[in-house]
Amino acid sequence: MLRHPVWGAICLLAVLLVLCTDKLCTDARPSAYALLVDDDDEDDGDGSGSSSFSFSSPHETPDELAFGFYDGTCPSAEAIVASTVRELFAADANVAAALVRLFFHDCFVHGCDASVLLDRIGGGKSERDAAPNRSLRGFGAVDKIKARLEKQCPGTVSCADILALAARDSLVLVGGPTYPVLTGRRDSAGSFYDDVNIPAPNATYAMTLSAFARRGFTERETVALLGAHSIGKVQCRFFRDRIYNFAGTGEPDDSLDADMVGEMRAVCSGDGAAPMEMGYYRQGREVGFGAHYYAKLLAGRGILRSDQQLTAGSTVRWVRAYAAGHRGEEAFREDFAHAMVKLSALAPLKGSAGQVRVSCSKSVE
Annotated binding-site ranges: 106, 109, 111, 113, 115, 127, 199, 229
Helix, strand or coil, per DSSP, at residue 279: strand
The rounded distance, in Å, linking the Cα atoms of 322 and 333 is 9
DSSP count for the chain of H helices, then E strands: 13, 2
The rounded distance, in Å, linking the Cα atoms of 192 and 299 is 39
**Residues near 69 by beta carbon (within 8 Å), at least 6 away in sequence:** 161, 182, 183, 184
Binding-site residue ranges for heme b: 229
The rounded distance, in Å, linking the Cα atoms of 109 and 114 is 10
The rounded distance, in Å, linking the Cα atoms of 236 and 265 is 9
Amino acid at 48: S
Alpha helices in the chain (DSSP H): 5-18, 77-91, 95-107, 139-152, 159-173, 205-213, 219-225, 240-244, 258-268, 292-298, 305-308, 316-322, 325-344
Let me know if 248 is exposed, middle or buried by CB neighbors in 10 A (0-12, 13-18, 19+).
exposed
Nearest alpha carbon to residue 320 among 347, 344, 291, 284: 291
Q: DSSP secondary-structure letter at 237?
A: G
The rounded distance, in Å, linking the Cα atoms of 344 and 352 is 19
CB 347 within 8 A of CB 192: no
Residue 170 has a CB neighbour count (10 Å cut-off) of 29
Identify the active-site residue in 105, 110, 292, 338.
105
- Told to judge if 105 belongs to the known catalytic residues of this protein, a careful annotator would answer yes
CB 113 within 8 A of CB 187: yes
Amino acid at 155: G
Residue 90 has a CB neighbour count (10 Å cut-off) of 10
Catalytic residues: 105
